[in-house]
């Protein structure tokens, strides 16, 4: 690997950790836990790992001896800044407890475990990846560990290697699966522990004990850097509206955090759209309203933030997409045999419910075509391929044109579309994420050494200086409820959507009218690693407001 100047300088950074992780650790058991809902059912599904207590780590005078162990680690799902530091924190953590302990990385995600593809992570390797972004140290993958044959394979491969514990670094799904695997190993008496680490830039893996998932901080700061730069451009050229879609399909935490950091003119929050039962047209009108009012002040420029998952939160669109999925599966060959897009649209419109047909026929043609053409191998509409930012631009353009004809709009509307996602997922972690992930890795090492399983590593009190952070473990089952997935009720970690009664949304809602009309942009600039603490070490606004 050829290292950049920053990478070389950054290798020397020593992550800050909670005081309790610096010396010997004593484990303090809290109250026994319950799952957030469906307690009886979930207890039945997790007879061995349900109801465990929350664990807190405290400084201890007693020096304990731990045996040498072999630990396996897996990166699961989408990249998030700090993954490498979880692994280096875990490595340093197990080595500190016994220098003969070994760490194995399963390659390419959970499939590495079932396929038995791995490498030992030695200090040479680890040192190359300290404080860097990416998951390239062992790669990641999206295979889900859900089936019994996978659990059996995992068991077989762990036994072969002599692995005593697995650390699974992942989002809500991966941690759910970690809990199921922990239970499975317990039931089998396999003697293999499973510990989870909360990862996702989306910020939707969050509870009282898991204040934030790692990567959210860095990713939002990268996106906010770019949004700020674009806003400065908008405010200099005074020529364009910039529609910026932000990654994160299932929740709008990223859009909300970026809005708090940069104060754009419009930010759509999917959860609010769903709660207010808004139509696509309502969303467009909300933007048009701002465009018209700004034009009256002579300002024909601005920024609009759009969460990636918006379309699926618009109730009427969700229904339409569901109907389209059924229809396109049923009439696949008929639709494909039609000559033109126009014929396809008309064919489909004739078969949709009255409500959905109305929604569908009012969509711009190019977008309606997209819904019919871009389908996944199962024939489903690929929602992630929908260019919502361009759709909204087209629809705003059409409305504004109509208003102009009526004499109700005298300004100009020109727009540029952007989508930010890949730009932030593998950024080098901010000091916050570097510290947080390293501490999580350390905490996972202690949970393992203490024989715990079915736990997620937890580091809390994150708005205080790192020294005062509280480390410990939370039983994964305590975050679960039952949800219908593919027709079957399954135990899953409840996704944390944006809470419309929470402080971050309220702060946004109180200020958005001001931000909409009076250009109040903030330009955060790029993540800094070496400067004053108030520049380099601040957590997200979401975290600051929630705590």
Residue 534 in the binding site for a second copy (CB under 8 A): yes
The interface region with a second copy, picked from 164-172, 306-314, 417-425, 469-477 by CB under 8 A, is 417-425
- Is residue 202 flagged as an active site residue? yes
Q: Give phi and psi for 411, each to the nearest 5.
A: -90, -160
Q: In the numeric block, which tokens belong to residue 194? A: 């499973």
Residue 235 in the binding site for a second copy (CB under 8 A): yes
User: Does 202 carry a binding-site annotation?
Assistant: yes
Q: Which residue among 232, 276, 297, 414 contacts a second copy (CB under 8 A)?
A: 232
Calculate the alpha carbon distances from 474 to 3, 34, 177, 446 in Å: 37, 11, 15, 13
Residue 489 in the binding site for a second copy (CB under 8 A): no
Residue 237 in the binding site for a second copy (CB under 8 A): yes
Closest by Cα among 471, 457, 475 to 71:
457
Q: How far apart are CA 274 and CA 283, in angstroms?
A: 11
Q: How far apart are CA 278 and CA 287, in angstroms?
A: 13
Residue 377 in the binding site for a second copy (CB under 8 A): no
Residue 9 in the binding site for a second copy (CB under 8 A): yes
Give the three-state DSSP class for 473: strand
Q: In the numeric block, which tokens belong to residue 57? A: 């780590």
Nearer to a second copy, 38 or 233 (CB): 233
Which residue carries 């409840």 as its tokens? 494
- Beta strands 53-60; 24-32: pairing state: antiparallel
Q: How far apart are CA 201 and CA 357, in angstroms?
A: 36
Q: Which residue among 520, 544, 546, 547 contacts a second copy (CB under 8 A)?
A: 520
# residues near a second copy by CB under 8 A: 58
Contact 243/394 with Cβ under 8 angstroms?
Answer: no
> Catalytic: which of 92, 202, 217, 433?
202
Max intra-chain CA distance, the chain: 81
Q: In the numeric block, which tokens belong to residue 269? A: 């929050």
Nearer to a second copy, 134 or 472 (CB): 134
Residue 5 in the binding site for a second copy (CB under 8 A): yes
User: Does 436 carry a binding-site annotation?
Assistant: no
- Per-residue x/- marks for a second copy, 76-115, CB under 8 A? --xx----------------------------x-------
Closest by Cα among 90, 123, 42, 74 to 445:
90
Residue 524 in the binding site for a second copy (CB under 8 A): yes
Residue 528 in the binding site for a second copy (CB under 8 A): yes
Q: Which residues pair with 73 in a beta bridge?
A: 105, 167
Residue 545 in the binding site for a second copy (CB under 8 A): no
DSSP string covering 171-234? -HHHHHHHHHHHHHHHHTT---EEEEEEB-TT-----SS----BTHHHHHHHHHHHHHHHHHHH
Contact 433/86 with Cβ under 8 angstroms?
Answer: no
Contact positions with a second copy (CB under 8 A) in 140-169: 140
Residues at the binding site for substrate are 200-202, 239-240, 247-249, 308, 422-425
Binding residues for diphosphate: 78
Residues that bind a second copy (CB under 8 A): 2-7, 9-10, 78-79, 108, 132-136, 139-140, 222, 225-226, 228-230, 232-233, 235-238, 242, 263, 340, 342, 416, 418, 422-428, 520, 522-532, 534-535, 538
Which residues participate in the annotated binding site? Answer: 78, 172, 200-202, 239-240, 247-249, 308, 422-425
Residues tagged active-site? 202
């Amino acid at each position: 690997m050829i290292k950049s100047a920053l990478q070389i300088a950054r290798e020397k950074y020593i992550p800050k950790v909670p005081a309790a992780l610096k010396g010997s650790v004593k484990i303090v058991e809290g109250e026994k836990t319950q799952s957030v809902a469906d307690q009886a059912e979930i207890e039945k599904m997790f007879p061995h790992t349900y109801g465990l207590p929350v664990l807190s780590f405290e400084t201890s005078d007693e020096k304990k001896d731990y045996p040498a162990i072999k630990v396996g680690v897996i990166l699961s799902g989408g990249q998030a800044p700090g993954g490498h530091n979880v692994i280096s924190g875990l490595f340093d953590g197990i080595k500190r407890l016994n220098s003969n302990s070994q760490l194995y990385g399963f390659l390419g995600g959970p499939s590495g475990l079932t396929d038995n593809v791995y490498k030992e992570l030695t200090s040479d390797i680890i040192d190359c990846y300290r404080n860097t972004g990416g998951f390239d140290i062992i790669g990641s993958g999206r295979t889900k560990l859900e089936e019994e044959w996978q659990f059996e394979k995992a068991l077989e491969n762990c036994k072969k290697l002599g692995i005593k514990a697995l650390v699974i670094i992942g989002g809500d799904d991966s941690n759910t699966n970690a809990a199921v695997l922990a239970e499975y190993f317990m039931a089998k008496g396999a003697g293999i522990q499973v510990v989870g680490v909360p990862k996702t830039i989306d910020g939707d893996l969050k509870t009282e004990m898991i204040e934030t998932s790692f990567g959210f901080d860095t990713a939002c700061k990268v996106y906010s850097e770019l949004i700020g730069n674009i806003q400065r451009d908008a405010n200099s050229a005074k020529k364009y509206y910039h529609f910026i879609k932000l990654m994160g399909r299932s929740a709008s935490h990223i859009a909300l955090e970026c809005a708090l950091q940069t104060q754009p003119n419009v930010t759509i929050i999917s959860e609010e759209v769903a709660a207010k039962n808004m139509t696509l047209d309502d969303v467009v009108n909300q933007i048009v309203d701002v465009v018209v009012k700004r034009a009256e002040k002579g300002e024909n420029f601005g920024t609009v933030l759009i969460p990636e998952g918006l379309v699926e939160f618009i109730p009427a669109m969700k229904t339409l997409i569901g109907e389209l999925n059924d229809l396109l599966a049923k009439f696949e060959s008929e639709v494909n045999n039609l000559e033109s897009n126009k014929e396809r649209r008309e064919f489909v419109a004739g078969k949709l419910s009255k409500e959905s047909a109305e929604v569908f026929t009012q969509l711009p043609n190019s977008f309606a075509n997209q819904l019919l053409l871009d389908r996944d191998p199962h024939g489903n509409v690929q929602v992630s391929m929908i260019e919502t930012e361009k759709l909204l631009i087209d629809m705003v353009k059409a409305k504004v044109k109509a208003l102009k004809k009526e004499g109700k709009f005298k300004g100009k509307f020109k727009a540029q579309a952007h989508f930010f996602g890949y730009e932030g997922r593998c950024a080098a972690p901010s000091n916050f994420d570097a510290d947080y992930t390293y501490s999580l890795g350390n905490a996972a090492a202690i949970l393992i050494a203490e024989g715990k399983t079915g736990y997620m590593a937890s580091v809390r009190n994150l708005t205080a200086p790192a020294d005062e952070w509280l480390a410990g473990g939370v039983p994964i089952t305590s975050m679960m409820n039952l949800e219908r997935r593919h027709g079957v009720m399954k135990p899953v970690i409840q996704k944390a959507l944006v809470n419309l009664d929470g402080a971050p949304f309220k702060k946004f809602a109180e200020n958005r009218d001001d931000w909409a009309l009076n250009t109040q942009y903030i330009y955060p600039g790029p993540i800094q690693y070496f400067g004053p603490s108030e520049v380099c070490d601040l957590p997200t606004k979401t975290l600051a407001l929630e705590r």
